[in-house]
């Protein structure tokens, strides 16, 4: 859901932090990271610079509202349907109109977006405190939600712990680890006042061509994925934030991205119930407070290929309420996704249809004009009898029950243990690295060789992606490991690597980071560097779905040099390198995954992970 296409806004202070972080990273294995950096002459907590996460987000002093022209006008009286539209906005602080509407009692809560609202964790905590302070006295806390899945989607930005994607948890296969990761993610979200996290993803990774799923799925086995999703739910809920199962009834088998078009779930009813829905049944048993719908057509349930599940009563009531017996809050995926109608009338029609289908909350994007249209359209629909007042009252009660389940903004929370969370991220990355095969016997690398690391500049492959903010670190991690090598695992590995002391090594590591997708000139430049190497380490992130990256990969392989391929994101890329003899999968672009992979490449560690999906052919 996160990130509106074409609207990425990287704050200047984030760019400065990234540059500073890069400089620090070169000096040591783990530069110190703080979850809320010191004030940069802008953000204040009780008039003082913010140095770390505030213990209590509500204790932050709310700033006066001085921004106008955004949000839904507070001059219009509230209405029963207003409680079903979750708001969104542009900016690092709430617009005055939104605060007025909150004060009037017509807002159930907000969704925060990385590209629209997040500059730093301290700023988010202050923003949330300002929102909560605007509530009428005696009302329960507002819903404040965000996409903070881990892996490729970090809605709270790069100050949070860089856990590898859910596929990494699938490669380890231990629900206990999944619960700990969920608890850590939840604790970091709760520390800044977030009370709903849009996670975990319960979709099965059964369609390699699905461009939006990437690292977000736990795998393709319903039993294993169900156990991991349930554990992740337990972790989030243990941390005091509400978990959100997504995307009902499952979109992993759809070959298109619902951010851009309506896909069709191509399964019959028995398969759907035995496969996709098995995950949701297992995860629901863990007690999540929300379920998010998928904007995909489900003809097995509706008999139609043009009706998104979010608008279908057969899904949102007959399945979710009657069959699965879910009594919590049902929320749509984002309303600005192009699987739904985006014309002026269509936006309102689909919003009405979703509430009629049984949805409780509509997840708006930060478009004030669209929110006004939807809000006013829902009011009109109730007046004209298009919405059932009794059903709406039941739905409103579910939303209110969710809000009452939150701890008050003044509740004390334990401080976030940043060191423990980073150690947990290292553990996950290390245990997830998977050796698909080493038929060429290239592992570990010899310190006598000249090694060229080729890796793409990370980018977002879907709007549900924040990878563009990640620095490429595979080559850097290998270079650092090369300079301080660990002992090989066994005598055979030692013989292959050569008994060369670090100061006697005759080889070295060079790194080429190419733009992604690469141009013909980029490919030519990479190939020119290949000629000087003895061994190639080739990072791959999107070769299965991007023809340009696939062409670069094949061009490098055709040179015939000994090459180790590292699939850094989805195992779907294994289909492109079936003829390569040595292949690893790391399931992550973040620093911990790169360091874990470098340890395997140099023989300092094994690769204990197992593919959580069938190897694509």
Active site residues: 259, 333
| DSSP codes, 3-62 | S-TT-----HHHHHHHHHHHHHHTTSSS----SSPPP-SS-EETTEE--S--S-GGGSPP
Do 82 and 375 touch, CB atoms closer than 8 A? yes
SS3 label, residue 513: strand
| DSSP codes, 86-145 | EB--SSSS--HHHHHHHHTT---EEE--HHHH-S-HHHHHHHHHHHHHTSPTTPPPPEEE
Token pair, residue 572, equals 């779907």
Q: Alpha-carbon distance 234 to 227, whole Å? A: 11
SS3 label, residue 488: coil
317: DSSP letter: I
Token pair, residue 494, equals 């030692």
CA 181 to chain CA centroid, nearest Å: 13
What is the per-residue burial (b if ≥16 Cβ within 10 Å, else e) of 368-377?
Answer: bebbebbbeb
The strand pairing partners of 45, in sequence order, are 48
Do 254 and 207 touch, CB atoms closer than 8 A? yes
Contacts of 357 (CB under 8 A, 6+ apart): 310, 311, 312, 313, 315, 316, 317
Q: Alpha-carbon distance 265 to 298, whole Å? A: 5
Handedness of CA 256, 258, 261, 267 (dihedral sign): positive
CA 510 to chain CA centroid, nearest Å: 31
Which residue in 397, 503, 535, 434 sits closest to 164, CA to CA? 434
The strand pairing partners of 291, in sequence order, are 245, 330
Handedness of CA 554, 213, 111, 297 (dihedral sign): positive
Q: Alpha-carbon distance 338 to 462, whole Å? A: 13
């Amino acid at each position: 859901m996160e990130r509106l296409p074409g609207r990425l806004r990287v704050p200047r202070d984030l760019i400065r932090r990234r540059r500073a972080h890069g400089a620090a990273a070169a000096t040591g294995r783990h530069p110190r990271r703080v979850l809320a950096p010191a004030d940069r002459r802008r953000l204040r907590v009780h008039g003082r610079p913010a140095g770390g996460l505030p213990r209590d987000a509500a204790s932050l002093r709310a700033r006066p509202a001085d921004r106008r022209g955004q949000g839904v006008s507070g001059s219009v009286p509230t209405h029963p349907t207003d409680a079903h539209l979750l708001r969104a906005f542009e900016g690092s602080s709430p617009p005055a109109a939104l605060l007025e509407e909150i004060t009037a009692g017509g807002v159930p809560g907000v969704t925060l977006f990385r590209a629209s609202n997040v500059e730093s964790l301290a700023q988010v905590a202050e923003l949330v405190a300002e929102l909560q302070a605007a509530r009428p006295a005696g009302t329960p806390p507002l819903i404040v939600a965000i996409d903070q899945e881990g892996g490729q989607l970090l809605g709270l930005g790069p100050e949070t712990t860089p856990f590898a994607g859910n596929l990494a948890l699938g490669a380890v296969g231990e629900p206990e680890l999944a619960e700990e990761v969920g608890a850590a993610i939840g604790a970091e979200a709760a520390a800044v006042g977030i009370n709903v996290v849009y996670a975990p993803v319960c979709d099965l990774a059964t369609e390699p061509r699905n461009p939006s799923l990437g690292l977000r799925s736990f795998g393709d086995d319903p039993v294993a994925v169900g156990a991991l999703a349930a554990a992740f739910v337990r972790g989030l809920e243990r941390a005091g934030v509400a978990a959100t199962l997504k995307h009902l009834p499952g979109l992993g088998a759809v070959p298109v991205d619902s951010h851009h078009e309506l896909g069709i779930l191509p399964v019959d009813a028995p398969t759907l119930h035995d496969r996709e829905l098995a995950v949701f049944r297992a995860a629901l048993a863990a007690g999540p407070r929300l379920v998010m719908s998928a904007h995909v057509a489900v003809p097995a349930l509706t008999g139609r290929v043009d009706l998104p599940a979010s608008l279908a009563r057969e899904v949102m009531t007959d399945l979710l309420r009657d069959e699965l017996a879910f009594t919590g809050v049902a929320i749509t995926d984002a309303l600005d996704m192009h699987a739904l109608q985006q014309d002026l009338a269509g936006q309102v029609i689909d919003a009405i249809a979703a509430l009629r289908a049984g949805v409780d909350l509509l997840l708006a994007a930060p478009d004030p004009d669209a929110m006004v249209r939807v809000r006013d359209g829902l009011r009109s629909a109730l007046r004209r009898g298009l919405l059932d007042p009794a059903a709406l009252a039941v739905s409103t009660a579910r939303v209110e029950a969710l809000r009452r389940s939150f701890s008050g903004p003044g509740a004390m929370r334990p401080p976030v243990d940043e060191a423990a969370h980073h150690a947990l991220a290292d553990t996950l990355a290390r245990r997830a690295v998977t050796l698909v095969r080493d038929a060429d016997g290239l592992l570990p690398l010899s310190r006598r060789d000249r090694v060229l690391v080729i890796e793409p500049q990370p980018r977002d492959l879907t709007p549900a992606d924040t990878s563009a903010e990640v620095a490429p670190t595979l080559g850097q991690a290998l270079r650092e490991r090369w300079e301080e090598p660990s002992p090989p695992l066994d005598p055979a590995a030692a013989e292959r690597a050569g008994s060369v002391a670090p100061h006697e090594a005759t080889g070295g590591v060079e790194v080429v980071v190419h733009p992604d997708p690469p141009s013909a000139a980029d490919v030519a430049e990479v190939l020119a560097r290949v000629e000087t190497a003895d061994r190639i380490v080739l990072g791959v992130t999107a070769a299965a779905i991007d023809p340009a990256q696939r062409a670069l990969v094949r061009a490098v392989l055709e040179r015939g040099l000994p090459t180790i391929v590292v699939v850094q994101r989805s195992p779907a890329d294994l289909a492109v390198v079936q003829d390569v003899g040595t292949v690893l999968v790391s399931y992550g672009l973040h620093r911990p995954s790169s360091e874990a992979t470098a340890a395997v490449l140099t023989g300092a560690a094994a690769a204990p992970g197992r593919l959580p999906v069938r190897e694509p052919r």
